[in-house]
């Protein structure tokens, strides 16, 4: 269960407490919007709170890492060799590219293939699973381009 390993802090704990003994407790892993209820004593409780982390957060941690989205995006048209990928993604160091590629590979979004040429060449290809992410990545791209040019980032 993917909830395991996520740290819980005061709020999480509160939520857990507040859902204790309630119908449906612990099963609220859906992503319905949370809301707040007030009980007879005026205490406020969260209902259907984001099951730490909710789908949005979970998704962001998979493709939201630095350079991760860019890498995936640049693989959409076919296999790309390592150094070419590095050339395409200006600003990212080889170390970063490597790390993110390994991560994407571990999660099955990207496939690594070594061709026995000399010198050796390695290509990275987006998998079918990885391809399912391209949809909203394109949404993100369009949104990003629609933003005011002078919006400062960093």
Partner DNA sequence: CGGCATCCACACGGATACTG
Partner DNA sequence: CAGTATCCGTGTGGATGCCG
Give the residue, chosen from 83, 98, 102, 115, that forms a contact with a second copy under the rule CB under 8 A. Answer: 83
| Cβ–Cβ < 8 Å for 43, 86 | no
CA distances from 26 to 12, 49, 58 (A): 12, 11, 18
**Using CA atoms, how far apart are residues 92 and 69, in angstroms rounded to an integer?**
12
98 binds, among DNA, a second copy, none (CB under 5 to 8 A by kind): DNA
Q: Which is nearer to DNA, 27 or 120 (CB)?
A: 120
Q: Is residue 61 a contact point for a second copy (CB under 8 A)?
A: yes
53 binds, among DNA, a second copy, none (CB under 5 to 8 A by kind): a second copy
Quick one: which segment of 26-34, 45-53, 122-130, 142-150 binds DNA (CB under 7 A)? 122-130
**Using CA atoms, how far apart are residues 111 and 2, in angstroms rounded to an integer?**
23
**What six digits make up the tokens of 91?**
């600003």
Q: Is residue 120 a contact point for DNA (CB under 7 A)?
A: yes
122 binds, among DNA, a second copy, none (CB under 5 to 8 A by kind): DNA
| Cβ–Cβ < 8 Å for 130, 110 | yes
Q: Is residue 112 a contact point for a second copy (CB under 8 A)?
A: no
Q: Is residue 128 a contact point for a second copy (CB under 8 A)?
A: no
Q: Is residue 110 a contact point for a second copy (CB under 8 A)?
A: no
Radius of gyration of the chain (CA): 21
């Amino acid at each position: 269960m993917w909830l395991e390993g996520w740290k819980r802090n005061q709020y999480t704990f509160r939520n857990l407490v507040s859902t204790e003994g309630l119908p449906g407790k612990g099963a609220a892993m859906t992503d319905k919007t949370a809301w707040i209820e007030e009980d007879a004593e005026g205490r406020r409780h969260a209902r259907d709170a984001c099951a730490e982390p909710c789908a949005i957060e979970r998704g962001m941690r998979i493709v939201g890492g630095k350079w991760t989205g860019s890498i995936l995006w640049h693989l959409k048209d076919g296999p790309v060799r390592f150094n070419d990928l590095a050339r395409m993604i200006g600003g990212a160091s080889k170390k970063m590219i490597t790390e993110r590629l390994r991560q994407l590979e571990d999660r099955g979004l990207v496939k690594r293939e070594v061709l026995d040429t000399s010198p050796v060449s390695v290509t990275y290809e987006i998998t079918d699973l990885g391809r399912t992410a391209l949809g909203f990545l394109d949404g993100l791209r369009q949104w990003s381009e629609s933003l005011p040019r002078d919006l400062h980032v960093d």
